[in-house]
């Protein structure tokens, strides 16, 4: 739970600072190796865009599958039971995600695939009424799903789609990646109804959204198709720009700051953010870093110890997110939630962060 909450913070800060601009830096001669690196990055983005927009042999047949589609409110279902006409119905899922069937009564169907619903109906009928019932479920009409796309894509916005779609389907609708796109895709979604937080964090009540990190290089260049996740109504996709680190929390100028091949330490990043606020708790600084496996790593850093020479000043990596909490806040997650809500005006719920 704690790791998930921290990863959610990583996602939101990354989303908020995708378009943030750091302070302008003086122009200096760009080394040849940096130019070469940037050229390779641009070529890789072009190659990934070709595979997003025009398809690739290893993507064939691996786009959104209707078999994986999860039933939602307002979907129209066609249900048939062989040799039992009273069960043959065309029925629309209620706004609460339920349907009502003869012999069975009210049945919760939201979040199930058609094959899962077939099995559930078959099992319920076999318990009391029919021997070896043959059940069929067909989704006659799909509800419109709204998926948001943000960050370094050609056409960010909210897209209404029908049927099951994947991350790559949505990126194609958004026109592909911009040249300065990073290789990480952040996907955030609300939990399914009925999911309950485990453990107590001292945060406010509410559901905890799921946060997922997808490495686009692994997906599009190396062909790891298990990373091409299906999207659901209300999902948010964000592609942060490449070559930046982010500083948030109790600093004077939170934002994103470019690396562009330079080595940047934690203290230098704090200086670029114009230093700590008086209420900052420098001894409890956190660095959020996503690893190759997509899971977030959290580094705890004592800035005061670095200033006194007792600890080494850490070198930051691309897409690192530095969070400086305020002093006197018992729950760090609550602090981040309040910081983001208060300063940036997030327009969607952070659940129990």
Which domains are present in the chain? Answer: 2-23+30-66+144-239 (no CATH), 70-141 (3.30.1950.10), 244-344 (3.10.560.10)
pLDDT the model gives residue 97: 92
Q: In whole angstroms, what is the distance from residue 159 CA to residue 306 CA? A: 46
Strand, helix or coil for residue 309: coil
Percent of the residues in the chain that have a pLDDT greater than 70, as a whole number: 69
The pLDDT tens digits of the residues spanning 192-240 come to 554 444 443 333 334 445 667 788 888 998 888 888 988 888 899 988 8
Q: φ, ψ for residue 10 (rounded to 5)?
A: -55, -45
pLDDT the model gives residue 327: 79
Q: CA triplet 205, 167, 110: central angle to 5 degrees? A: 50
Question: H-type helices in the chain, by residue range?
Answer: 2-16, 32-53, 114-128, 167-173, 216, 266-272, 303-307, 332-344
> For residue 321, what are the contacts with CB-CB under 8 A and spacing of at least 6?
9, 10, 13, 14, 245, 246, 247, 248, 287, 288, 289
Chain mean pLDDT for the chain: 76
Q: Between 337 and 191, where is the model more confident? A: 191
Q: Average pLDDT in the 121-149 region?
A: 90
342: pLDDT strictly greater than 50: no
């Amino acid at each position: 739970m704690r790791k998930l909450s921290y990863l959610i913070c990583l996602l939101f800060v990354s989303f908020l600072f995708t378009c943030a601009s750091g302070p302008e830096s003086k122009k200096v001669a760009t080394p040849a190796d940096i130019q070469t690196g940037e050229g390779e990055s641009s070529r890789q983005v072009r190659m990934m865009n070709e595979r997003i927009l025009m398809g690739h042999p290893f993507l064939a047949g691996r786009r959104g599958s209707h078999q994986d589609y999860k039933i939602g409110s307002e979907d129209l279902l066609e249900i048939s039971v062989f040799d039992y006409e009273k069960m043959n119905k065309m029925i629309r899922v209620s706004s609460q995600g339920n349907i009502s069937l003869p012999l069975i009564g009210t049945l919760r169907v939201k979040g199930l695939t058609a094959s899962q619903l077939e099995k559930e109906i078959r099992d319920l009928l076999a318990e009391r009424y029919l021997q070896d019932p043959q059940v069929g479920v067909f989704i006659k009409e799909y509800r419109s799903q709204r998926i948001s796309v943000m960050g370094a894509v050609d056409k960010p916005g909210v897209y209404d789609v029908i049927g099951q779609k994947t991350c790559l389907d949505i990126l194609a609708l958004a026109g592909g990646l911009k040249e300065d796109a990073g290789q990480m895709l952040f996907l955030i979604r609300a939990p399914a109804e009925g999911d309950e937080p485990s453990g107590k964090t001292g945060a406010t009540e509410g559901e905890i959204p799921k946060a997922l990190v997808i490495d686009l290089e692994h997906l599009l260049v190396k062909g790891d198709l298990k990373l091409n996740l299906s999207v659901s109504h209300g999902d948010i996709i964000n592609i942060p720009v490449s070559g930046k680190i982010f500083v948030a929390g109790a600093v004077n100028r939170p934002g994103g700051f470019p690396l562009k091949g330079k080595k940047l330490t934690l203290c230098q990043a704090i200086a670029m953010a114009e230093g700590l606020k008086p209420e900052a708790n420098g001894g409890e600084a956190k660095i959020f870093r996503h690893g190759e496996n997509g899971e977030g790593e959290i580094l705890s850093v004592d800035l005061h110890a670095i200033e006194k020479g007792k600890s080494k000043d850490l070198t930051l990596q691309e897409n690192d997110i530095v969070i400086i909490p305020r002093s006197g806040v018992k729950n760090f997650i609550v602090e981040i939630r309040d910081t983001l809500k208060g300063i940036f005006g997030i327009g969607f719920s952070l659940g129990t962060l």
